[in-house]
Amino acid sequence: MFNSYTFFTLIVALMATNVYFPNYRHKSLSIFSFAAGWLTGELALHHIAWQIGITFLFVIFGEITGGLDGLCLVVCVLCWLALARFHFRGIDARAKMETALTHALGASYMDEILPEYKSQCLDAGIDRTALLRPFKRDRTGVEVIKDLSFDHQGLKLDLYLPASRSSNAPVLMQIHGGAWTENKGSKNEQAIPLMLHMARRGWACVAISYRLSPKATFPEHIIDCKAALAWIKQHITEYGGDPEFIVVTGGSAGGHLSSLLTLSANDPEFQPGFEQVDTQVQGCVPFYGVYDFTDAKRRMPNPGLKQMLENSVMKKSLEDHQEAYLSASPINRITDQAPAFLIIHGDKDSLVPVTMGRDFASALQATSNEPVAYAEIKGAQHAFDLFASPRSEHVKLGIARFLTWLYCRYLRQKDSA
């Protein structure tokens, strides 16, 4: 007979199934599938714990009786085993990151890291405390300066700096995601684990804001990002940073904007009023970005992105304004002069299909003279890196190795110039 424990078992089964088989096809269901899969998959052990706790309460209050309830208990146990397997498979992210780095940088890339920086890569392991409390932000060793104005449209940025500041620190610029849209993302909650990690290792990290749709219309989003970069280049020395070495990162809409910023250096269309400012950066680390607004290869499994771009972000149709969509697409701006890239995408992403990341990486690898690493993270949903999990921790450490290698190469080139 259907009862409350049967209903509970159905929820448990749906959550576990969605982690392995997210929905891509239906616009609304794909959003729900993302939210459920993201929180369940990356917090699998936490979900197992509360589900076991509730099951124990069902037992205490005598709600589990008879054959059907016994079968439901078996189903729950199988779901917990599946979630545990998913959790521990997150450790595979280390191998994925290392394979991507050795393929792009060479098998001996760690030997090219200067001795004084090698400890940044070798002494860092998984933050097991963070795995237990994934939403806690440990700011030990980091100075945080919030809401500095960068003198453009009333927008602000945050700094994450080494507590013991030095001079000429490498700079990491973070562009947040959130569908380019108000109330879906901000500089306050994204990439915090990565910025704290890099700040402890001597980097000056900058999380910027930009105008958001539907009030903002593209290209205002990228213009704001360029204005923030111009401010960083002018003022970061006041906070110990090196304006000559800046790498930009971001996820989702931030993956799009960080890639576009990197590949459209000094394009006057995107820097009106400050055309003379050099907006080149030394590298880019985009996460699960939208790299082709035209979706020329029909990678998007549902019309959600096209509708959002036409109605809210671009505010013009793709069919009538294809040139504007091409101009906004990072994949359309690749040249052999593109800086180094590390592209990261999860193979369970239900919002931006992994094939879009593959296409972008392949196009860069075929054209750019600089290293292009592509890490496809098994089991990772969209936004998987927002808090600590085995996947996000190993990806974070891999990014640190890439950034440190890139910075050491810059220092060697600077010394030999």
Residue entry with tokens 């595979």? 92
Q: Cα dihedral sign for 309, 315, 318, 324?
A: negative
End-to-end CA distance of the chain: 79
Q: Region 286-305: what's the mean pLDDT? A: 93
Query: What is the pTM assigned to this prediction?
Result: 0.94
Distant-in-sequence, close-in-space partners of 81: CB < 8 Å, separation ≥ 6: none
Per-residue pLDDT of 214-231, as tens digits, reads 999 999 999 999 999 999
- The pLDDT of residue 411: 95
Per-residue pLDDT of 110-152, as tens digits, reads 999 998 888 766 666 778 888 888 888 889 999 999 999 998 9
Per-residue pLDDT of 341-382, as tens digits, reads 999 999 999 999 999 999 999 999 999 999 999 999 999 999
Alpha-carbon gap, residue 98 to 108, rounded angstroms = 11
Q: Band the pLDDT of 328: cuts 50, 70, 90.
A: very high
Closest alpha carbon to 219 in 207, 208, 231, 227: 227
Query: Which residues participate in catalysis according to the annotation?
Result: 252, 349, 382
Per-residue pLDDT of 195-209, as tens digits, reads 999 999 999 999 999
